[in-house]
Amino acid sequence: MNHRKKVKSDMELYFLGTNAGVPSTERNVTSIALRLLEERRSFWLFDCGEGTQHQILRSPLKLSKLEKVFITHLHGDHLFGLPGLLSSRAYQGGTSPLTVYGPPGLKTYLDITLELSQSRVNYELIVEEHTGGVIFEDDTFKVEMALLDHRIDSYGYRVTEKDRAGKLNGELLEQFGIKPGPLYGKLKNGESVETPEGRIIHPSEVIGEPKKGRIVTILGDTRPCSNVIPLAVNADILVHEATFLHELAKTAHEYHHSTALQAAEAAKEAGVGQLIITHFSSRYKNEEELLKLQDEARSVFPNTYTAKEHELYPVPDGIRK
């Protein structure tokens, strides 16, 4: 149905649940994994609806590799799977620290559910509540969040990969008589080196242009609102809810959701590279009905795909125009 071109990437989205409100026989409720394969060798999870840990068992993901969880809002279809997943992680080899980010109230929810169920979490669990701004940053990534428009406080996340250093030109270095080893490391660190013949090689001569970091924006439930565009601007991939077809725009507005057409309009305005729509109403039961949502969005933003569970969506370099 999606007809996406298969590409290799060290950053991938993997959908564990795409339904809105309640699970169905065809789809689970919301959860999205962002696989970070090269440098971190881990994955991050965005929302954790009921049954997420079962979905992970059917996937290539390993709970022991889960590093961070980002909760968009505290509605059950985005949250009820979290206590069970946290409890099970240690039994599946998860011993490293795990940080959970989300709106105020998340820590109380987890404290109560884990305490009353006498669940053991045999690793360091950090819960950080936020209401917007930069919530995480290291040498590789920055994560920002901003408030959306939903029945309760719901947030969107913008994950920005920092620009990466260009690759060393191995063939050229070989011509200069420099073999892989300590001199490679010096060049990568910006130091000039001397060849066996006494020639000085500067990093700019043998290192390619820096690679532009990629951007992935994942929104929680929302009606069209002012914060969508700043979160999504120039993103390589935007994940946007599309609960209804636009013929139900009034219903979408009343329930604080978006239509496929509205998601596409946001993608177009923000100048994103690719739009993936998700969070489908249970009224759309099969692929044929979901295709109508995709077609509606493509009428405005052609590079749109419907999220399909247990399918990888690579985040390749250069997807943006």
Binding positions: 73, 75, 77-78, 150, 221, 279
Binding-site annotation, residues for Zn(2+) = 73, 75, 77-78, 150, 221, 279
Q: How many angstroms separate the Cα of 158 from the Cα of each of 104, 132, 180?
A: 19, 11, 37
Pairing of strands 66-70, 312-314: unpaired
Q: What is the DSSP string of 23-69?
A: --SS--B-EEEEEETTTT-EEEEE---TTHHHHHHTSS--GGGEEEE
Is residue 77 among the annotated active site residues? yes
Q: How far apart are CA 226 and CA 230, in angstroms?
A: 8
Q: Which of 231, 236, 204, 211 is nearest to 219 (CA)?
A: 231
Q: Which of 47, 77, 149, 236 is catalytic?
A: 77
Contacts of 100 (CB under 8 A, 6+ apart): 68, 69, 70, 71, 82, 86, 106, 110, 125, 126, 127, 128
Neighbour count for residue 82 (Cβ, 10 Å): 26
Which candidate, 178, 221, 181, places its Cα nearest to that of 202?
178
The residue type of 215 is: I
The end-to-end CA distance of the chain, in Å, is 24
Q: Which residues are catalytic?
A: 77
